[in-house]
Every structure is written in C-alpha cells, then in structure tokens.
Structure 1
C-alpha cells in the first residue's frame, strides 16, 4: 500500500475447503476479480523415515501441500471460467518433486503430486487461456531454512552440492514468478522452472 497498491490480507488454513472458499470470497469482495493465483503455502518434511512416519504427519503434509493447491486451483478456475477465461496459476513445488530425500517421503510425494496437478491443469485449461506453471526452487533463504541461516557451518554444508555454492534469495524466486504472472509468459504453460543453482544437474537429475 505504501507503493500505491492495495492489498487484502486473509488468514486461512488452505487444508480446509470451507476456509479456502471464504478466503476467495473475501479476496473477490476486495478486488472485484482475481486474475493470478500463486500457491506458495506449505509444510516442510518431517524428517521421519516411512517406517516411523505417523499417519497424522503424512495427512498434514498431503492436506496442506496437495489439497491446499487443489482447493485453491479449483476455486480460481471456477471464478475465471465464469469471467470468460484467461488467468495465471503458479504452483510452488520444489526440486524434491524429482529428487528423493530420505526422511522426506511426506514432503517429496506432496510436491510430486502438485507437479502432476500443474501439468494436468495446463491441458484442461488451455481452451480457457489459463496458464499453469510450476516453480521448483532448491534451497532458499527463508524461514524454511532458518536453522541453516542461523548456523554458518550448517549453511556451508548444505550448499556444498550446489554448483553456485549458495542458496537462493527470495527475490530471485519472486522475479521469475513475476514473469510467469505477466503477459510475457502467455505462451508458457505446463512447464516446471527449476531454480536451484545447478543442484539437480550436479546430482544427475533432469527436469
């Protein structure tokens, strides 16, 4: 707002279908319409191997990281369809949509599911001219990685396998998101943009 723009802030649990519907209703009431959806909320890996993974922890990851984007995408598409189509959906996944991580089955599986949701939606929504794409970051200096931010030795260890030898800044991810939300990306859909400083190539993974 200080920059001359208007914001509507709504607190909601995206794993709850009714709260998602209310969130969209409030946003539409505030803006009149919605043209761009970015699904960025999520929970991290539990660190537990599958044999020790409680069902409630698995459910939490799936409900937040999969049901959440599903609920949001579904409601957004309903709104854009009623408005005649066009729009942008950006789903934030992770390099772990492709790269397995011991102790991360809950997180990795959830991100892989959203990648396939993105690709399926890209096909379904092409007639409506709604673009659907993935952002798949590697390590980013956000509260998700607060332990490494607070511990230089841990940070150095975690970036060792990244060819650029550093984690991403949130602003670097944001700039690509702005591109995908813009008219410059009108012919881009069903794509996954990996931003990992070369990590996946270094691990022999493709995307």
Structure 2
C-alpha cells in the first residue's frame, strides 16, 4: 500500500541534512508540498528544495535559529503563508552539541542543549497549532532518541535529558490537543549510521561496537526514520497518538 499525501502541506525543521532531509524528501515523494527549515546547512537545504521541486512539488527553504522564539514564530508564519496552511509539522531540529560529564557541563552548555532540542520544539509547535487545528489531517511528529530511554553514550546526560523532555512533551500535548483531531507522536532513532551526528560525536571503533550489538545486524539509515515519519504523517496513523516509535534494529526494547 502506497502512502498518498497529495495536497498536504508540511514543515520539516532541521531538514538541510541527514534525517530531516530524508523526511522532507519522503513527504514530497508522497505528494506533499514541503517547507525546508535549516539553521546552518544552507547548501543542503537548497539541494533538498531542488529535489522536491524536481519531483513536481512546491518547496521553500527558510533559515531560522529555533532556539529564539521570535525566529521560530517567523519560520512558521512564513511556512503557513507559502503553503496556504499547514497539515504536518516535523520537529526534527536538534543537536548533541558536545559530549561532557555532568561536572564538566556549564550552565551555558546545559541551556544550549536544552534550547536546541526541547525549547525549539515547543516554540515551533506553539506557533503552528492554530494552522494545524484548521487542517483535517493535523499531524505533529517530534524527534526523541534511544538516549531518552537508556541515557545515551558517555557524556550525554544533558542530551538524554532533553530528549526525555521531548517524550514528555509529546505525550502531554497529544492529550491536550486530541479534541482538535491533531495527532502527536515521536520517533526515537537508535544508531543511525552515515550521519553528521555520529561522524562528529562517535569514534569509528565505537560505531563498529554499537553495530555489532544490533540484533538486525546493521546500522539504521535516515531512510528508516523517514519511513516511520511518513506513516505517522499519513492517514494510516489516524488512530495513533501520544506514542513513541523506536527505530533501533532491536538494540533496545521497552
């Protein structure tokens, strides 16, 4: 069964590379028009935009620092204006920033990680809710992580905490806005290979050791996450809300 999102309007944050780019392209291939947000990856975002347009869909690339509520507001308003409304919001933007033990973590680093992972999700979602409430297919997808369940690797205390906050936000919001017929779900990737995240923060030998412990015998891909996001954005998930979908090849079970 193919998923048809023809006519749907989507905003994907952090879509200039990696998982966000894969989600934006997957939504467009299913028929959606997509606004591609980026913070720093301008070239990547423009490439994603061009791929979407080459497939016959409309797209716009917009830069914003989503840790700033005013910029998040402007992003959402620009997306709603360009698209003529909003049906799907994918809160993918986030970052580990850097590994550090709790005693090495400064107040500034704590705030930086919490802002980029949970505050950005809050700011963007809050501004998008009125437009989503007018849609007959309102979908919000947040980006959690395996780290929210198992604490992540060394030096990930703040990151794991921020992603656990995303899970709590997702579940609470799902209850709060259920009457508006908007579903809210999270995806929780495990080890997703060939991404800037792990290339930057996970040494090669550690990556090999992680993959060796995955029951399905391989690293995940950005496409694996995009496939689940596509399902959650579609009518096939209309009775699914407040859920966290693990995408980790069997590395961790609830």
Scaled by the length of structure 2, the TM-score of the pair is: 0.74
Aligned length: 200
After superposition, residues 127-206 of structure 1 pair within 5 angstroms as 127-141=179-193, 142-147=195-200, 151=204, 153-201=205-253, 206=254
Q: 1: distance between equivalents of 2:70 and 2:200?
A: 34
* 1:94 and 2:145 matched: yes
2:77 to 25, 36, 57: 25
Residue 122 of structure 1 and its aligned partner are, at CA, apart by 0.6
Partners of 2:71 and 2:110 lie apart in 1 by 21
User: What is aligned with 1:114?
Assistant: 166
Between the aligned partners of 2:244 and 2:135, the Cα distance in structure 1 is 26
Note if contact 1:148-1:154 (Cα within 8 Å) is conserved in structure 2: no
Q: Check conservation: 1:85, 1:128, Cα contact below 8 A.
A: no
Matched residue of 1:166: which SS? coil
Q: Residue 44 in 1 paired to residue 96 in 2?
A: yes
Shift of 1:97: 1.1
Distance in structure 2 (CA, Å) of the matches to 1:146 and 1:139: 11
The residue matched to 1:163 in structure 2 has which SS? Answer: coil
Quote how far apart the aligned CAs of 1:168 are: 0.5
Task: Indicate the SS of the match to 2:54.
Answer: coil
The equivalent residue for 2:28 is none
Q: Distance in 2 between matches of 1:107 and 1:134?
A: 16
CA contact (8 A) 2:68 2:120 kept: yes
C-alpha distance after superposition, 1:131-164 (max 9, x if no partner):
000100001121111258994x443122122212
Does structure 1 retain, via aligned residues, the 8 Å contact 2:144–2:189? yes
Which of the residues 101, 106, 119 maps onto 1:54?
A: 106
Displacement of 1:99 in angstroms is 0.7
Structure 2 vs 1, CA of residues 67 and 182 (structure 1 numbering), >3 Å: closer, same or farther? same
Match 2:132 to one of 80, 93, 104: 80
CA RMSD of aligned residues (A): 1.8
Gaps of 5+ in 1: none
Kindly indicate whether the alpha-carbon contact (under 8 Å) linking 1:45 and 1:106 is maintained by their aligned counterparts in 2.
no
Find the aligned partners of 1:121 and 1:189 in 2 and give their Cα distance: 10
Match of 1:15 among 58, 67, 71: 67
How many angstroms does 1:48 deviate by? 0.9
3-state SS of 1:89 partner: strand
1:175–1:103: structure 2 CA closer, same or farther, 3 Å change rule?
same
